[in-house]
Each structure stands twice: as C-alpha cells, then as structure tokens.
Amino acid sequence: MLPFALKAVWFALCVLGTVSAWVTLFAFARAVGSYWGPMFYCIALTLMQSAICLGMIWQMDPFLMPRNFCLAQIAVINFSAFLLTGICACLSITITLLVLWPAQNTPTSSPFKWRNLYIIPLAVFPVMGTVAEMVVGVKLGATQPADNIHCDVNHPLWARFLGYAGLPLLESIPCCFLAIFALIRIARMHQIHERLSRDVAIGYTFDVTTFSVRPSTASKHEPDDTLYPNPSPHFSSSSSPRAVTSSRPPSAIPGPSAIVATAFLSPGSHFRNEASARQFHLPFKTTDESESQGSLVSPNSLPQDVHVRVDSHASSALPASTPLDHADNNDDLRRASPYIVSEDRDVGSDATREDLSNFDDRVSSVVFNRDPSPKSELDVERGIMDREQHRTHEDPRYATLRERSSQLALPPQKLFASIWRLLLFQLGFWIVQALMILSTLICVIKNRPPMAFGTEHVAALLSAWGPFIIFSHQDGVRKQLIFWRRPVTAP
C-alpha cells in the first residue's frame, strides 16, 4: 500500500498546480485576446484533478471508495484526458493555419478564434472514447479496485489502451508532427525575411560623405540622374556658374553621419538661408548667421563639392579621402555626386557701394553631374527606380528570395512569443501523453499487475503545472501575474 504521506503530497501538488494553471492561462488568454482554448483546458484539468482529489475523502484508497464513485471517477478521468488532448489538437490546427495562411487573419479578429471544426476533437472524440472505455471495462469486469491513488481499469490491464493510456496518444501524434512542421516553417520564414531585408530592401538615402574642391565642369555630365533646383530668389539672372573653394580644413568637415538629406530635391525648391541649413544640414554658416557675427560672406567660406551616394548597402560607402577627380570612371559615383555652386549677379561697372553691399553671394543650386538639359523630378525618380530594379533583377537570387518571401509571409509580430510558447507546450504535452501510457505498456509487456504509483501520476502533475512552467515567463503574461509591481519612473 502507498503511504498516506505520499498521497497527501501528491494531493497538495495537484491542487496548487490546478490553481496556477487557472491564473496563468487566464493571463495568457488576455494577452492573445482569445479565451476559449485556455478556458477549455482549465475546465478539463479541473475535472480530472477534482475527480482524483475527491478520493481524499476515503484517504485515496480504492478499496474504501463506493462502487458508483469508482465508476464515475474512471469516466471523468478518461473524458478529461480526451478533452485535454482535443484542446491541444485545436491549438495545433490553429497554429498551422496561422503559419500557412497568415494573410487570412485580419487585425480586428484574433487568430485563435473559434472554428466549428473544433467540435470534433472537443466533443465527439471525448464522448466516443469514454463510452468505449466504460463499456469494455464494465463488460469485462475490469473496474475492480487495486492498490492505487484512484479507481481505474485493472483486470485486464490492456483495456486501459481504450482510455487515457492509449487513444489520446494516438490523437496527439498528428499534433506533434504539426507542431514540428510549424516550428520548421517559422524558422525558415524568419531566415528568409532576414536575408530579404538585408539584400533586397531598396532604400534611397542621400549621405554626404565627403567635401572636396572641384571646378564645375559640364562636359562630364550625364543625362540620367539630373535635378536642377531653382536658384535663390536673390538672383533672377545669372552668369555661368563658378566653383566655390573651401577654406575650411578637412579636419573641420563633418563625417558621413553628421549630414544626411533623406528626400529628393524638387525642381521648384529654393535654397534659402535658414531653411536650407535646417533641411540639408549644410556644414557651413549661412549669410544671416555670418552677418549677425559682423563678417561678410566670402565665396571661399562655402564648400564646393558635396559627394552623395544613393545605395541600399552600407558597405558601399566611399571613403572620405577619395577625391572625385579620380572616380570619373565610376558611373554610380558620377550619377550620385552633386556639387554646390554660387551664381554671380552682374552688377555692371556702374554699380554703387549700395548695390555691392546688397549683393548676396549665396548657394544658389546643387548641380548634379549631367548635361545642361533639365529634367523634372518625376523623370529623375523614375530613372533611379528603373536602374535599381534592373540591377536587382539581374541577379536570380533576388527573384528567388522575393518569390519565396511572398509564399512565406510572417505571422503578426505581436504573436511571435505566443506562437513559440504554444509550440513548446504542444511538444511538452506529447511527452505527457507518452508518460500516460508508459507504465501500462511496461506492465502489459511484462505481464505484471498495475503499478501503485506510475508514470501516469507524474503526467497528471505535469498537465497541471505545465501551463505555469511554459507560459509564465512570457512578457505579456508575466506583467499580468506581477500586477502589483509598478514601473519605477525616473524623477
């Protein structure tokens, strides 16, 4: 006979595990926005543990329990085992559908919504399995009491295979394979989307990487990526553009990360003094700033060249020390390299001192390397997009990645943690089902009487504590479990 102390410890662990499962699964249900699955599991677990723990009235001794109570206890335990397995089957179907067709889940509906298909594993199988177990057990007289914690089918022992120690395991095997399939597919999706975001994502960012002195030459201009902003409103007429040299030492010029212009320049944009400095973060002082300091703007105080790159790969950045004159053979560099010029106003020989004082030598345009024929912003944008798309489509690897990524769409990001936990829970529940059958299988093979305390009792404890072990570490669940802790705000 089993000692009563062991029965008391097992009873206490079952009660505490059931309470922890209710608390944890309720928090998990709030986190995922679906209650039917966690609540069904809690109800099935409560039925099983209550049927077993009520035997404490008779000190958990089957020889002291009434006949009718024993029959009811056997029926409830088997029905609960089938119901728990059916819930895991429903979760497997839900996750598989979520992984295969994530686009079918709208933001307003929960992916763990109820489907009428779930009636089969939650109602049909439990009822049929319980009826088969009870009919065979009663017909064969297998419900005789034995040394155990609860009443069970004991003689013949193989009749247990029709109940919790057999059919639920067969039902959980497809669920296990579905969980493994979903796990592998999610891992593949994650890997493909990481490669796609790293290699194929096309983003256009103007990064100013270097400044150098170069005269404005129009002979090497190309007609592709061209954009001429309108000159400053201070200069209605202009002469040929002249180069502006820089008197600032190279050490005083900001690096690539200091100056970034993230928008295309429109043909109608004006380079105003303060507006242009704020929008393009020019590394020199504007006229208003210089005049406020009591100094005149000199053409030598403005940088001459702004080297710009348009690239989706950070590894293709040009070193700051590379002069533009040595990169004429590089088409990409020439296409993406503007320089700032200042246009002079012809004040004439009769200019007075007032005219000269009103002369404002400002940055009037950013000239891209091209021929003098202007193009609209739409033409420039189309040219860049067509060239980038042609460049990426030349490599068959990019086409393959795009095709595979369209077929392997990722589930919603907020459900990633819940999906991983549910997959782990399904694999763990399959282990619980294997423990349910292990002791009975060993006894049948060795032709031994049933064990007083076997692996099925350990499986009952794991089914109670499993939700707390797996889901309590999830961020959304943990925040609700420790609700009394408030985040400490800095003063």
Mean pLDDT confidence for 332-350 = 48
For residues 131 and 127, give the distance between their C-alpha atoms in angstroms, rounded to a whole number: 6
pLDDT tens per residue, range 74-95: 999 999 999 999 998 998 888 8
For the chain, list the domains and their CATH numbers.
4-200+408-481 (1.20.1070.10), 219-371 (no CATH)
Whether the pLDDT of residue 29 is over 60: the answer is yes
CA 394 to chain centre: 30
What pLDDT, on the 0 to 100 scale, is given for residue 291?
Answer: 46
Mean pLDDT, residues 432-452 taken together:
90
The C-alpha atoms of residue 51 and residue 49 are separated, in whole angstroms, by: 5
| pLDDT at residue 378, rounded to an integer | 53
Structure tokens at 98: 């979520």
Of residues 19 and 109, which shows the higher confidence score? 19
pLDDT band at 56 (very low <50, low <70, confident <90, very high): very high
- pLDDT > 70 in the chain, percent: 50
Query: Which range scores top for mean pLDDT: 15-19, 238-242, 258-262?
Result: 15-19
Mean pLDDT over each residue of the chain, to the nearest integer = 68
pLDDT at site 187: 76
Nearest alpha carbon to residue 94 among 106, 76, 110, 78:
110
Where do we find the tokens 């070193």? 319
Radius of gyration of the chain (CA): 38
Q: Which pLDDT score, from 0 to 100, does residue 194 have?
A: 66
Which pLDDT does position 47 carry in this prediction?
A: 94
pLDDT band, residue 175 (cuts 50/70/90): confident
Inter-residue contact 179 to 93 (CB < 8 Å): no
Highest mean pLDDT (candidates 38-52, 286-300, 346-360, 463-477): 38-52
Please report which confidence band the pLDDT of residue 16 belongs to, taking 50, 70 and 90 as the band edges.
very high
* Maximum C-alpha span of the chain: 126
Has residue 440 got a pLDDT over 70?
yes
Q: Which residues pair with 308 in a beta bridge?
A: 208
* Element of type H or E holding 122: none
What pLDDT, in 10s, does the model give residues 384-408? 556 655 554 455 555 555 555 444 4
Q: Within 10 Å of residue 191's Cβ, how many Cβ atoms?
A: 11
More confident residue, 298 or 421: 421
Return the H-helix or E-strand segment holding 396: helix 396-407
Which candidate, 444, 443, 439, places its Cα nearest to that of 456?
439
pLDDT at 184: 84
Most confident of 323-332, 372-381, 461-470: 461-470
Average pLDDT over residues 162-168: 89
Q: Look at residue 467 in the predicted model and tell me its pLDDT.
A: 92
Q: What is residue 53's predicted lDDT score, i.e. its pLDDT? A: 92
Reported as a single tens digit per residue, the pLDDT across 453-472 is: 989 999 999 999 999 999 88
Say yes or no to pLDDT of 349 above 60.
no
pLDDT for residue 243: 41
Q: Which range among 25-39, 88-102, 414-428 has the greatest average pLDDT?
A: 25-39
Q: How far is CA 55 from CA 66, 69, 70, 133, 335, in A?
A: 10, 9, 9, 21, 84
> What is the rounded average pLDDT of the residues 248-273?
43
Token couple for 442: 């060993």
Mean pLDDT of 159-171: 89
Which residue has better confidence, 162 or 340? Answer: 162
pLDDT confidence tier of residue 12, bands split at 50, 70 and 90:
very high
